[in-house]
Chains A and B, each alone.
Chain A
Amino acid sequence: MRIRLVPTLAALYYVAMIFFVTYPGYVPFDRIRPFVLGMPFSMFWQVMWICGAIIVLAGVFFWEKGRRADTQGSSERGSPSSQAGGE
């Protein structure tokens, strides 16, 4: 099975997130100042990961869409492995 770059990066985002919103990755960012958008930094940090997730998942979605268009355009039928792709 080939490793696909975009889904791997997306998965890494979530792995990184697990580290950075729990102990010990959260600790350096779990602080009151500086305030961002009126919120303490600890709270903004959470909001940032949420917004990041939207961007990452949207990235995966459009990457898959592009790939599907590619395989349909270039060859009549993709190989079984590329048909199963994207997951």
Chain B
Amino acid sequence: MERWVIVTLVTAGYLALSLVIGWVSGRKASNTVTGYVAGDRDFGLLVMYFVMGAMMFSAFAFLGTPGWAYSRGGAAFYVFSYGLLGFAPWYFLGPWVARVGRRFGYVTQAELLSDRFKSDLLSWLIAVVSIVAFIPYIALQMKGAGIVFNAVTDGKVPIWIGAAAAYAVVMLYVLKSGVLGVGWTNTFQGIFMLVIAWTLGIWLPNQLYGGIGPMFERLADLRPELLTAPGLDSSGAPWGWGAYSSAIIVSAIGVTMWPHLFMKAFAAKNDNTIKLTMVFYPTFLLFLLPLYFIAFAGVLFDPKPVSADFILPHMILNTNVAPVVIGLFCAGALAASMSTGDAMLHAAASIYVQDFHSKLFDRKLSDHSRRTLIRVVAVIVGVVAYSIAVTTQMSLVSLLLAAYGAIVQLAPITVVAFFWKRATAAGAVAGLVLGSITTLLLYLNPELRPFGLHEGIVGLTVNCSALVVFSLLTKPTAAEHVDAFVETSRRAD
């Protein structure tokens, strides 16, 4: 049998198994919005750990970060730091979010914030920002899946078919099972990609250099500039410490604020589930190690890949790996893409219905209609993202970075929601809007950045100042309401 046929069969087998797991897992959920969006707030430790971990390990982690390690060396180490710093606050924030969610019935981040500040405007703003950030992100995941499938089948499976196959499966289990489908498939996909990554990450350097140590010894002799931070920039010149350090801080804040992270906190069974998830979460970061090993193994390897992002599939395809293993690798990469894409697809649709549609057009929407609407929107979002993925070549990343910049700006509001009772809706909206505009402006006009600081940091400074000034200038939010919110968040169950 030809290599690409075996690879395709193995991958198809993985997709079938994902579908079965995703389909079956939804049977337990209740027929409510809480059941569909927050899994009836009943996620245990195992599922929670893999949901959080696999959700963050996207197609970008599987292809992009090894690409960084390969072409920019130590620059890629920043991912370890921001991953760790970004999740640490969730040890405390997670239980608070979950408690107010249980008490007041929130299933999304915007519901939490707009209810705390009693502002529908805030809800719409957050919904728009989140969805604008999600769609290019989902498109990138789809494209990633298609590209890997295409590469490992020697170009026999076109990108559009690969992406369609993977995301048809995702769509089916998201529609059928909601967040439970996302949870259990992420568990399966997470275990799958961990096993594949570690096996290949240890085997490949052994095969090529006789071990990880000997590999780095040779790199230390031949390419020492790749083995220390801050490594190189994208043009191959030494990268600056300022850029390296501020990238860590801004990315960490951004990770903390992802709306789908909030939504999964609402799904946790109890405080201990979230806390233990956060205790174990850093182990997921170590999963980058084997991927980096493979990438570093590629540095002294010939032939070279067409682009740095292809380093992983390139190494797998050119080192006499058995076709079945190539298939498993492809499935692992698809798992990374799908376990992120499914959570985002589900989150985007839920956010649209809960935070935008039902607040703007129809407040009296029944629970049943909401669930139907979420499914309809999920299909629309999927189709839009897919069309973007297969048609556009370009600045997806720019759109993504712009929206991501706005997501970072949710951080001050979220912190004051739990800490500063005097913060008001006007302050929150002003902070969010001015902070986002500043970020966008500096992103588009880098020459205006003071001291070359990251645009997100400048945006946050403007954001915090506006938040304080506008809050103090406006009437306080009803004390009873704010007290109930803050006290609920602190009360352990």
Contact A35 B217 (CB under 8 A): yes
Residue pair B248, A21 in contact (C-beta under 8 Å): yes
Binary A-proximity of B482-493 (CB < 8 A = 1, otherwise 0): 000000001110
Partner of A46, one of B77, B216, B241, B279: B77
Known: A39-B212, A87-B92. A61 touches B228 (CB 8 A): no
Contact with B along A23-37 (1 / 0, CB 8 A): 110100011110101
Contact B227 A43 (CB under 8 A): yes
Q: Would you call A84 and B216 a contact (CB within 8 A)? A: no
Q: State the CA gap A39–B216 with chains docked (Å).
A: 7
- Count residues of chain A with CB under 8 A from any CB of chain B: 36
Q: Which residue of B lies closest to A54 (CB)?
A: B282
Binary A-proximity of B74-109 (CB < 8 A = 1, otherwise 0): 100100110011001001100110000000000000
* Main secondary structure on A side of the interface with B: helix
Q: Given known contacts A23-B244, A43-B77, is B212 in contact with A38 (CB within 8 Å)?
A: yes
Contact status of A35 and B491, CB under 8 A, knowing A42-B229, A57-B279, A58-B279: no
CB within 8 Å for A84 and B88 given contacts A31-B228, A39-B216: no
Most central of B92, B278, B279 by chain A CB within 10 Å: B279
Q: Is the CB of A32 within 8 A of B491?
A: no
Determine the distance from Cα of A51 to Cα of B285 in the docked complex, in whole angstroms: 10
Decide: A22 near B279, CB < 8 A? Known: A35-B217, A38-B211, A60-B91: no
Chain B residues, Cβ within 8 Å of A46 = 77, 80-81
Most buried by A among B84, B95, B286, B289: B84
Contact A42 B213 (CB under 8 A): no
Give the shortest distance, in Å, between B422 (CB) and chain A (any CB): 18
Q: Is the CB of B492 within 8 A of A22?
A: no
Measured CB to CB, the closest approach of chain B to A24, in angstroms, equals: 8
The smallest beta-carbon distance between B49 and chain A, in angstroms, is 12
Interface residue SS majority, chain B: helix
**In the complex, which residues of chain A have a beta carbon less than 8 angstroms from the beta carbon of B276?**
61
Asked whether any CB of chain A lies closer than 8 Å to the CB of B245, the reply is yes
Interface-centre pick from B74, B276, B491 (highest chain A CB count, 10 A):
B74
- B81–A30 touching, CB < 8 Å: no
Closest chain-B Cβ to A87's Cβ sits at a distance in Å of 6
What chain A residues lie within 8 Å of B318 (beta carbons)?
none
Q: Which residues of B contact A22 (CB under 8 A)?
A: 81, 241, 244-245, 248-249
Whether the Cβ atoms of B245 and A61 lie closer than 8 Å is no
| B85 pairs with A17, CB closer than 8 A | yes
Size of the B side of the interface (Cβ < 8 Å), in residues, is 43
With CB as the reference atom, state the residue of chain A lying closest to B79: A46
> B241 contacts A57, CB within 8 Å?
no
Verify A49–B84 contact, CB threshold 8 A: yes
B residues in contact with A57, CB < 8 Å: 88, 91, 275, 278-279, 282
Contact across chains for A32 and B80 when beta carbons are under 8 A apart: no
Complex Cα gap A61–B228 (Å): 34
Any A CB within 8 A of the CB of B280: yes
CB neighbours of A84 from chain B (8 A): 490-492
Give every chain B residue within 8 A of A58 (Cβ-Cβ): 279
B208 → A minimal CB distance (Å): 14
Provide the residues of chain B in CB contact with A61, threshold 8 Å: 272, 275-276, 279
Closest-CB distance, B70 to chain A (whole angstroms) = 14
Q: Which residues of A contact B211 (CB under 8 A)?
A: 38
For A84, the closest partner residue in chain B by CB is: B490
The CA of A54 and the CA of B96, in the complex, are separated in Å by 21
Contact (Cβ within 8 A) A87 B216: no
Partner of B224, one of A21, A32, A47, A87: A32
Q: Which of B229, B249, B279 contacts A54 (CB 8 A)?
A: B279
A9 near B: Cβ within 8 Å? no
Interface residues of chain A, those whose CB is within 8 Å of chain B, are 14, 17-18, 21-24, 26, 30-33, 35, 37-40, 42-43, 46-47, 49-51, 53-54, 57-58, 60-61, 64, 68, 83-84, 86-87
Residues of B within 8 A of A (CB): 74, 77, 80-81, 84-85, 88, 91-92, 95-96, 211-213, 215-217, 220, 224, 227-229, 241-242, 244-245, 248-249, 272, 275-276, 278-280, 282-283, 285-286, 289, 292, 490-492
Of all A-B residue pairs in the complex, the 8 with the closest CB atoms, nearest first, are A38-B213, A22-B245, A23-B241, A38-B212, A46-B80, A21-B81, A57-B279, A40-B227
Given A38-B212, A46-B81, A84-B492, 15 more pairs with CB closer than 8 A = A17-B85, A21-B248, A30-B228, A35-B217, A37-B212, A38-B216, A40-B227, A42-B77, A50-B84, A50-B282, A53-B88, A54-B279, A57-B279, A61-B275, A84-B491
